[in-house]
Chains A and B, each alone.
Chain A
Amino acid sequence: MSLSQAARDRIVNDFIPRYPSKRAALMPSLWLAQEEAGWLGPEVFEEVGELLDLHPTDVASVASFYVMFHRRKIGDRLIEVCENPSCFLNGSDQTYARICDQLGLDSGHGGHGVQTTPDGKFSVRPTECLAACDYAPVVQVDLRFYGPVHGADVDAFLANMEAFSIEGKPSVSMANGPQAVPVDGWEAHAPPAPGSAE
């Protein structure tokens, strides 16, 4: 049995009653199972399926749709580097390459698969936009947000990730409060305002 009794209880008593159909408890159930084991194996699909009246293949089929559900064991910590345009423009390729280099992984392997260090401590993969583009380049480690992590910051980042945490921090633009305030002397550096042709 891979699901703990506590997890089974939570699925039955907390997740299933939230929805009018048992099946809808599948997403939270898979998350809970993955939190316990670190990944989702065939036994989990059977056990979750049994609780939700679903065929294990059906459960596996749903799990396989979502990139955050791991169907094989990954490293103790998962490092994901955004490679979408806002991070790319700010040098996320160097961030990714440096992280791979430091962990002895191949940064030029292409593709979007997970690479794991031989000692099983770290897995690394590129990822899609993490919705924190003001802190680009953004890195996510075990679902926590960090940024900006430039290539030159990687060594410091790997030594002390918490120094780069942006969890709960306001946007870069709102460091002094929510009001959008024009930058002092902005006109001096701006090209002439375009005509009001609109």
Chain B
Amino acid sequence: MTQTPPVADAPIQHGAGQPLPWEPVLMTAVGREGGRFLPDYLLRGGYQGLTKAVQEMDPDSVIKEISDSKLLGRGGAGFPTGVKWGGTKRNPGPRHLVVNADESEPGTYGNRYAIDADPHGLLEGMLVCCFAVGIQQAYIYIRGENLYGAEVLEHAIKEAYAAGYIGKNILGKEGFNVDISVTRGAGAYVCGEETALMESLEGRRAQPRIRPPFPIEVGGGLFGRPTVVNNVETLMCVPHILVRGAAWFASIGAPACPGPKLYTISGHVNRPGVYELPMGTTLYDLIYKYAGGMKRNQKVKAVSPGALACQLLPGTDLNVQMDTATLTRPPHWHPPFGPVGFGAGGIIVYGEETDIVQVVARAAGFFARESCGKCVPCREGTHWMQDVLSRIAHGHGRPRDLGILEDVTRNIGGRKTLCALGDFSVNSVASALRLFRPEFEAYCNGHARSSAAGSGVPVAAG
């Protein structure tokens, strides 16, 4: 790479003492003329990771390098990437790679900018995966709304075919053949769930599959074949790991889940946006140091640390390290619903002036509309939550509604549904009830706040 960040010899300390500046790894193309096109990618050291893999390494040592880097999937589940690749490879081919670019979680938008900025970074990560796992056909599934991103990718794929990075006998390696294409979704949040995504890619209604078999197994993946499903950001880390080494990657940020992370922050902050920082940066630093603090200098009331599918953190909990490991273990674990969750690092910050009941009513409406309808707890339960919360948010709540709400959340959440959509649909609701119960009670007793999060317009009854 043309830039050599000083990360390896300057270990990151968490919290306010973090050394600065921290050189970005994933977003170096931003601000460069023609940054998203192949010539600039090559100037920035592009396709050197793939070249190294093909010319100096064998597939198994690539998988070992990725495992040693301790790269965890960036899509939300935090599964070790090396383990996923190795597991897929142990199953007989043909195999597939699917890139999950369906990023639709409200408040999460790092993938969109990453694709816009550096599509070849994604393609190179994919090609390394194909080389390591023995895959000849790879698909990018991108959400339908992101037409621009699909166009950027199509163009990059054309460039890469023409330059011989995609196609037959790549980089002169006999038998290393890969085809990559883009498939666009058409507006279904559930496609972010890997098995629903594969159903959609196969031309079906996007309803999750029952596991086992898992995607990496025969019968569980795309077209029934063993399949690696990776997030965009996960794959974009891969070329850098090969070029700079697993030890370099593992030394960045939180030791349990290291590496650079594209945090996206939005809501009541002065400077919302994408911040590339070491995994494990604290919420306090993200909000105040980088995102410029709170609008109108209000206090933080609550935060959705991993966007809408995660539990709310109270505004008093800002010293928390933002990473997969921290937010999925005690004390950030609330039975029976499980971990607060880190998701894909989409942070929504709610200031003091937020009417949390209105926000949660919106969250419930979102999950009710996006439920795929396959399994009962989610299909029925999300609509129950929406109905009750819509009633409360419109000022018609009854004292017994909160009991109904709690009951419904307990009957959806806690691994009772086929996929995480249902399981996580209760997270905002249940955590808001735990943290801000008096506000719900006020609504149910006829003392609703007069304005909805400073907007004054009542929530739409979905």
The answer, yes or no, to whether B203 is at the interface (CB within 8 Å) is yes
Q: Which A-B residue pairs are the 5 nearest by beta carbons? A: A173-B273, A26-B203, A66-B186, A133-B266, A68-B187
- Closest B residue to A183 using CB positions: B292
Q: Which residues on the A side are within 8 Å of B366 (C-beta)?
A: 84, 128
Q: In this assembly, does A23 line the interface, its C-beta being within 8 Å of a C-beta of chain B? A: yes
Can you list 21 residue pairs at the A/B interface with Cβ under 8 Å?
A31-B186, A68-B145, A84-B308, A85-B267, A85-B308, A85-B359, A88-B453, A89-B454, A91-B455, A94-B457, A129-B107, A140-B145, A144-B147, A170-B31, A170-B117, A173-B290, A179-B21, A181-B21, A183-B290, A190-B293, A198-B326
Q: Using a CB–CB distance below 8 Å, which chain A residues touch chain B?
A: 18-21, 23-28, 30-31, 52, 54, 61-62, 65-69, 83-86, 88-94, 97, 110-112, 126-134, 136, 140, 143-145, 167-168, 170-174, 176-183, 186-187, 189-191, 193-198
**Across-interface contacts of B77 in A (CB, < 8 A):** none
Q: A24-B203, A31-B186, A84-B107 are known contacts. Are A130 and B145 too (CB-CB below 8 A)?
A: yes
- Given the interface pairs A85-B359, A196-B319, the reply to whether A178 lies near B455 with Cβ below 8 Å is no
CB distance from B14 to the nearest CB of A (A): 8
B193-222 interface bits toward A, Cβ cutoff 8 Å, 1 = contact, 0 = none: 000000011111110000000000000000
> Which of the listed residues B16, B186, B187, B316 has the most CB atoms from chain A within 10 Å of its own CB?
B186
Chain B residues positioned under 8 Å from A86 (CB to CB): 106-107, 266-267, 272, 348
Considering the chains assembled together, what is the distance between the CA atoms of A23 and B181 in angstroms? 16
Q: Pick from B144, B289, B453, B454: contact of A186, CB below 8 A.
A: B289
Query: Contact at B272–A133, with CB atoms within 8 Å?
Result: yes
Q: Are the CB atoms of A193 and B104 closer together than 8 Å?
A: no
A180 and B460 in contact, given A27-B184, A85-B106, A173-B275 (Cβ under 8 angstroms): no
User: Are the CB atoms of B293 and A21 closer together than 8 Å?
Assistant: no
| Shortest distance between the CB of A82 and any CB in chain B (Å) | 8
B461 within 8 A of A: yes
Residues of A within 8 A of B28 (CB): 178
A127 surroundings in chain B (CB, below 8 A)? 145
Cβ contacts under 8 Å, A190 to chain B: 284, 288-289, 293
Distance in Å from the Cβ of B188 to the closest Cβ of chain A?
Answer: 5
- Nearest CB of A to B423, in Å: 19
Residues of B within 8 A of A167 (CB): 148
CB distance from B190 to the nearest CB of A (A): 9
Q: Contact check: which of B116, B181, B284 meets A194 at CB < 8 Å?
A: B284
In the complex the two chains form, is B274's CB within 8 Å of A173's CB?
Answer: yes
* Cβ-defined contact, B201 with A24, below 8 A: yes
Q: Among A66, A91, A134, A187, which residue has its beta carbon within 8 angstroms of that of B144?
A: A66
B283, closest chain A residue (CB): A194
Question: Could you tell me the distance in whole angstroms from the C-beta of B421 to the nearest C-beta in chain A?
Answer: 13
The answer to whether residues A94 and B112 also contact, given A25-B203, A65-B205 and a CB cut-off of 8 A, is no
Contacting pair A172 B185 (CB below 8 A): no
Q: Mark B291-329, 1 if CB is under 8 A from A, else 0.
A: 111000101000010001000000010111100001000
